[in-house]
Chain A
Amino acid sequence: MSNYDSISQEISEIAKKLLKESKVDKVIGFGLGRFTKEITPIFIKKAEDADRLIFNKNCEMSLTKYLLNYKGEKVAIVAKPCDSRAINAYLSEDLIKREDLVIIGINGCPGIEGNTACEECNIRNAVICDYSVGQEMSEEEIQAEIEGFEDEIDKMNQAERLAYFQNEFERCTRCYACREACYVCNCEQCFTDSNKPKWLGESVKLNDNFTYHLMRGIHMAGRCVNCGACEMACPEGIDVRAFAAKMCSAAEEIFDYKSGMDPEQKTLLSEYKVDDSEKGFME
């Protein structure tokens, strides 16, 4: 596993070089705020500011979604392995252009504090990059990291699951931080904002909260890269990642599909093979 400090240093050096040589207009990465010492996404435009770039255990945001704001511009981006998968997914959906993009990929990702997705993550090296930082992790090392991981929700029976999710979604204020933090959620209009048809009530009630999270969860099938940005964004500490994570494991189990592994990869639901399994994940 790589260490945070050396990753930070490598990122700064690469960013400095890219900006100095005018290879990119800006570098999207992580840095500290001006008043708080909290990690925040930063957009570096000048080589002399590249030292502000850092990587530590609190770099919890997925930066990939910002790429949609810079179509047609040359940008570099710092990508954790999960973010690099999200970049692949954008490339495969033709949302961004590879030639506009310089990817600084993190290998041997040491993980993010408090992000439960990291506990089960078995993609610890960037899957696409122009520059790699950190030390690549071998398959054995990765397996050792996630050994013993058990999905607690999988062990629950139906009634326990219902109770668990009721307890979770009761707290949801529908601030939509999970949606906005998610790279998948880039629809021009989200179903939650549609008033014709109206899918959700305006008041924040448990059944509508369920509708929101279930519908969002279903949309994650074959798209979610299990980065945990949704969970980290939630101000109420809700297990918002659970449905999406279930979709990921179901896609893997039933269709041997892992999203964002290759820029040429078609999305799970846009491809059909005659011999596809017809097993439903509810069974």
Chain B
Amino acid sequence: MMIKKISKERFKKLFDELKEEYNIAAPILKDKGKEKILEYDFINDFDQIVWDRQPDSSPKNIIFPQNSMLGNDYKGSKYYDDNLSTIIMGVRSCDIEAVKVFDQVFIEDDSYIDDSYKNRRDKTIIMGISCAEREDSCFCDSLGLDPIESDYAPVYIFKDEDEFFIKIKDEKYEDLFEDLPKGDQAQLKALKKQRKEEFNESSFSLDIPTPLPEKEMFEADIWEEMTEKCLGCGVCTYYCPTCYCFNFFWEGEDGESTKYKSWDSCMFSSYSVHASGHNPRDSKGKRYRNRIMHKFSYHPLNYEGLACVGCGRCIDRCPVNLDIREALKMTEEYLLEEGGDESGKD
């Protein structure tokens, strides 16, 4: 492990050095009609980076783009070179945990290795950033994550006013930062401690064991109740950093076609419809049940940890503000009333 401490100016210089050899993606403000949205994109200018709040979207669009042509994913991106590796700068605990979910499913699961994801992932370095403030919808710590630091990123940034601590946890990347002035470990420790103390408490807590017991809840009437206001669009899944469902298809014209891979959403009614026309998930409640169960039951049963990281984007972005925390509370109340199996496993 190596700790460095640099000024903003020095970081800018580092950025300019790194961009010669890497694609760099980071959260920048993007014009979206009347509003500006903080999103990850490939950039060329250090000063564009916004460090101080949670980006409105996760880096999913970088590590798992919505449309991928299996090899030519960022066509049209000015600051992306296919021959270079990519550094994603300023990724918070929640979004880092989400990359871990992707890795579990697409790389570490021996039964299937997704080459296109693996190739991209092998060429990606995540530089995490320590969270300083809770957004209204954040609840990563209620799910057991640490917003101050995640172990899953090889390099971590701690922003202290106009100075930056850089902690290099993976020796592999020490070369990149070697020339920088050394940082004081005790000072960093104190900063982390202070951050932790200042972090206000989440109003939400998950008080039931996971994996959630599927069999006891599958037929419950809570699903329709909690989705009474759901519109049935795909916003929660598209902006979710861990939702990875996708579709393959061929598209093209003039006798030529390209194989595409695009995001899909289990919240669309067409997602589960069979060729016969029968749809086993023919209501919003059944579709939302799948979304909750995948994150809190199926994923933890098959891998390690939950497939929800508590980033709160599904809450922020939902057109009717359907809150996954309320859904989890309803689940909890149902299980307590119905005397659910405490072990959480069937």
User: Contact residues of A with B, CB < 8 Å?
Assistant: 33-43, 61, 65-66, 69, 114, 116, 168, 171, 173-177, 179-181, 193, 201-205, 232-233, 235-239
Contact = CB atoms under 8 A, between A and B. Distances in A.
A66 B66 contact: no
B232 interface: yes
Given A37-B136, A193-B269, 7 more contacts: A36-B137, A40-B322, A61-B319, A179-B233, A180-B231, A181-B319, A232-B319
B37 A181 contact: no
Q: When A and B form their complex, which 5 residue pairs have the shortest distance between CB atoms, in order from nearest?
A: A237-B32, A233-B319, A180-B231, A177-B233, A237-B33
B67 A34 contact: no
A45 to B, nearest CB: 10
Given A35-B323, A180-B232, A202 B32 contact: no
Interface string B221-250: 000000011011111001100000001010
A175 B233 contact: yes
B260 to A, nearest CB: 5
B229 A43 contact: yes
Contacts of B204: 35
A202 B249 contact: yes
Contact of B251 (A61, A176, A202, A235): A202
B262 interface: yes
A61 B329 contact: no
Contact of A40 (B66, B137, B234, B323): B323
Contacts of A232: 319
Q: How large is the interface on B (under 10, 10 to 19, 20 to 34, 35 or more residues)?
A: 35 or more
Contact of B66 (A65, A173, A238): A173
Contacts of A235: 235, 238-239, 317, 319
A25 to B, nearest CB: 13
B203 interface: yes
Interface of B: 32-35, 37, 66-67, 136-137, 203-204, 228-229, 231-235, 238-239, 247, 249, 251, 260, 262, 265, 268-270, 315, 317, 319-323, 325-326, 329
Interface centre among A66, A236, A239 (most CB of B within 10 A): A236
Interface centre among B136, B265, B320 (most CB of A within 10 A): B320
Contacts of B268: 176, 193
A177 B326 contact: no
B33 A202 contact: no
Contacts of A69: 228
Contacts of B325: 34-35
Given A36-B321, A235-B235, A193 B270 contact: yes
Nearest to A201: B251
A66 B229 contact: yes
Nearest to B135: A36
B251 A237 contact: no
A204 B262 contact: yes
B32 A236 contact: yes
A203 B67 contact: yes
B323 A36 contact: yes
24 contacts: A33-B326, A35-B326, A36-B136, A36-B137, A37-B136, A42-B229, A61-B320, A65-B231, A66-B228, A69-B228, A116-B34, A168-B33, A175-B234, A177-B231, A177-B234, A181-B319, A201-B251, A202-B251, A203-B67, A204-B66, A233-B231, A233-B319, A235-B317, A237-B34
A69 B283 CA distance: 11
A181 B238 contact: no
A41 B247 contact: no
Contact of A176 (B34, B234, B322): B234
Contacts of B136: 36-38
A65 B229 CA distance: 10
A239 to B, nearest CB: 6
B75 to A, nearest CB: 11
B162 to A, nearest CB: 31
Nearest to A229: B319
A248 to B, nearest CB: 20
A35 B203 contact: yes
Nearest to B313: A235
Given A36-B321, A202-B251, A236 B37 contact: yes
A279 to B, nearest CB: 31
B129 to A, nearest CB: 23
Contacts of B322: 40
B235 A177 contact: yes
A109 B247 CA distance: 44
Interface centre among B33, B249, B251, B323 (most CB of A within 10 A): B33
A42 B229 CA distance: 7
